[in-house]
Structure 1
Amino acid sequence: MDFRTCYVAFPTRAEPALTVAARLDVPLTEAGTPGPRVPAVVICHGSDGIDARGRFHAAALQAAGFATLELDMWSARGVTRGAAGRPRTTPETLPDAFAALAFLARQPEVDPARIAIMGFSWGGVVSLLSATRRYADALAEPGTRFAAHAAFYPVLWSYNRAPGHELRGLTGAPVLIHAGGADAYDTPEVCAGFLAGLDPADRAHVELAVHPGATHAFDRDMPAKTIHDPYAHNGKGGPVRFAFDPAAATAARARVVEVFRDAFAGVAA
């Protein structure tokens, strides 16, 4: 399937109001014109900004026939890459995600009822919090909702502990979480107890996959590195290793496609 790439921008209801940029990829028919409306996925980057992770997952999503919209949450804010320059709290960027949902819903190539969201680290937190009615009710345009959510290593210790990270009252859309068993943001005990800490009604919608031995950013196909983040080590701060794990990355990518395909099929039915 051939895709057409467009670089786009649209306003968000952030405070102050912003216009964010994004890369939009939509499928084309063989004649080079838009085909039937297809599902779409919003992709949200981590603290380092757009990197290899977005393209790694976009390739699989597009192969499945999904349009993709990869957000750039940093440029409009004049943010430098990394933990030192990002916004103070992740909820500040949630308006970007819901503006992306509204933008996709208006595109003639996209089925507005079949739009999902995924993200990495900071973007994983965005993806996860967007599954709560608190933020969806406040920020989504009327008649729009994400059909599914996939969050990669979204700092699991922070939920129901850090301000704005209340994870309760989910919308009911399926939520897939991928975590690394050797991720320095969370201790193994945090991963093991995460699902049990959710309300039973919410837990029914959440799938957690922990990849043994995988670090933070295990799906980042770039040279390994160590960063320092005050949110690491259960909020105590410290070094975090990023190392690509091909087996975990490939398995996680495939599962995202499966979960999204199933969610889209449920909406279509």
Structure 2
Amino acid sequence: VDASVPLTVTAKTTDGNATVEIQSAVTARNTPSAPIALVNDTTMISIVSTAQDGVTVNTYSVAVLKQGSNNADVVLALSGNPTLTKVGSSTDQLVNYTTTVSAGTSSLTVTATAKDANANVTIQGVLIPRGQASAPIVLNDDTTTITVISTAQDGVTTRTYTIAVVKPTGTLRTSDLVDKGSANEKGLFASAEKELSIYPNPFVDNVTIELKGYNAGQAGVSISTMQGNMVFSRTLPVNDNKVQISLSDFKQGIYIINITVNGERKAYRIFKN
């Protein structure tokens, strides 16, 4: 049986005048017993039925084997408390997260607390006691993937959690462009006469789009999540070759910003701390 579900026993007698005892407690006919505590291995349950004549007695013994909980859920926490954003569709076996840390973060620890105290958890392949943090995990300059695997008490049920930890460099990078067709190290679509830059990146509250050489009076700006949900879409004025955007209400994570200027459109990844 599943140890997480309380166990009761109902004994039905063919004679309505017979009496029943379950675990030595008199129990009304066709009525569930009180919950029976199960031991770690096998629990023996005794049922005694006495006929109306007071002489005829039948004794039944039930051996209950406890298979262990199938709960492999964990609660994840990272040092520094960056926000974990779920990515894609979760399944019973796999959950994917992403998070962003500051460019100066060299390592972090992960604490994976199993909801069932009898489950086992590994982080980057190392078994970690419940509720304890992992050893520091060194972060790459771009993205580091951390794998957490929880195995339930039943020894069969597992759930894998992946955490993509993004550490932006803070400068405009060709690798941040969704469309790299006309990108160079200076900007999204820069040339000898024109240059577009976005800063700061990562940002906390505000983002500035600087347009040099475009002579544009306005720019179209739309922002979506990595899952494709549009969260911002406006046509904004260009003042002194700059567009100022307040994004203080955005949650921490990675976003795609689309910028349209004078008919040219490019997409770029930005990071909210």
Q: Taking structure 1 as the reference length, what is the TM-score of the superposition?
A: 0.23
Structure index of larger Rg? 2
Q: Which has the higher helix share?
A: 1
Q: Which has the higher strand share?
A: 2
Q: Taking structure 2 as the reference length, what is the TM-score of the superposition?
A: 0.23
